[in-house]
């Protein structure tokens, strides 16, 4: 389901918009097939229609109108994201994007157009980075292999795209954890203790407990 695909951590903007675009394409397909009375994707409706004494009396127009309304609503809500398609493509796959198209959009991120174009062409002709892009995901590629010292303009754009909505999930997740931590039995937690509990709850760090225990000095008995 689209709703579930748009939730959770590590969801980057290009992936989210790809899911939305795919859903819009599905709506168009469903509408076209309904007009032809092809109910391939509507199993429940298909079972109801087959039970009619005359399936020809089935009118698909009310259903197609509803799908069209949903499609229009999606187009309206995500219209401000459409102009960013080229720069999102740069983040997803910089080796198959036209430099002129990408650089025009890059100006909206406050970077110099000429600098962006030069850095982008250097990136596209770097075979080592091209091979590395096929091995790792987008986040790792931009954060670990594209240096800010050598590609400051393009890295600026990539970071702004990759960090979109990340803080929203972090805030929602932190509030959820805080609600679990501050129960009626622990209402007297100080801000410092609450901060420590939240850090422990949200960290990705996995301690090596056995190694830590071995490193501790045993206390001799008296």
Q: Is 81 helix (H, G, I), strand (E, B) or coil?
A: helix
Distance CA 162, CA 139 (A): 7
- Note whether 148 and 121 are same-domain residues: yes
Query: Which residues contact residue 17 at a Cβ distance below 8 angstroms, ignoring those fewer than 6 apart?
Result: 78, 81, 85, 88
Query: Residue 27, Cβ neighbours under 10 Å: how many?
Result: 18
- Is 125 within a domain? yes
- Containing domain of residue 73, as a range? 8-77
Asked if residue 150 and residue 88 are part of one domain, the reply reads yes
pTM of the model: 0.65
**What is the pLDDT tens value at each position of the chain, 222 positions in all?**
777 777 767 777 888 888 888 999 999 999 999 999 999 999 998 888 888 878 788 889 999 999 999 999 988 888 887 777 777 888 888 898 888 877 877 777 888 889 999 999 999 999 999 999 999 988 889 888 988 888 999 888 888 888 876 556 777 778 788 888 887 777 777 888 888 888 888 777 888 888 888 887 666 665
Is 25 part of any domain? yes
Number of domains the chain is built from: 3
Q: How many CA atoms lie within 13 A of 69 on its CB side?
A: 6
What tokens does 150 get? 């050598």
């Amino acid at each position: 389901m689209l709703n579930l695909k748009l939730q959770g951590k590590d969801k980057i903007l290009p992936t989210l918009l790809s899911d939305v675009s795919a859903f819009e394409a599905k709506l168009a397909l469903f509408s076209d097939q309904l007009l032809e009375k092809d109910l391939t994707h509507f199993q429940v409706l298909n079972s109801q229609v087959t039970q009619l004494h005359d399936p020809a009396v089935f009118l698909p127009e009310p259903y197609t109108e509803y799908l069209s309304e949903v499609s229009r609503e999606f187009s309206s809500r995500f219209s401000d994201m459409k102009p960013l398609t080229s720069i999102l493509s740069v983040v997803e796959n910089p080796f198959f994007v036209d430099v002129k198209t990408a650089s025009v959009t890059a100006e909206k991120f406050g970077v110099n157009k000429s600098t962006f174009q030069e850095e982008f062409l250097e990136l596209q002709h770097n075979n080592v980075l091209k091979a590395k892009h096929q091995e790792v995901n987008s986040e790792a590629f931009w954060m670990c292999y594209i240096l800010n010292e050598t590609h400051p303009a393009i890295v600026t754009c990539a970071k702004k795209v990759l960090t979109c909505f990340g803080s929203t999930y972090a805030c929602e997740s932190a509030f959820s954890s805080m609600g679990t931590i501050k129960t009626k039995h622990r209402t007297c937690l100080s801000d410092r203790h609450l901060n420590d509990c939240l850090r422990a709850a949200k960290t990705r760090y996995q301690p090596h407990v056995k190694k830590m225990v071995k490193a501790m000095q045993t206390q001799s008995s008296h």
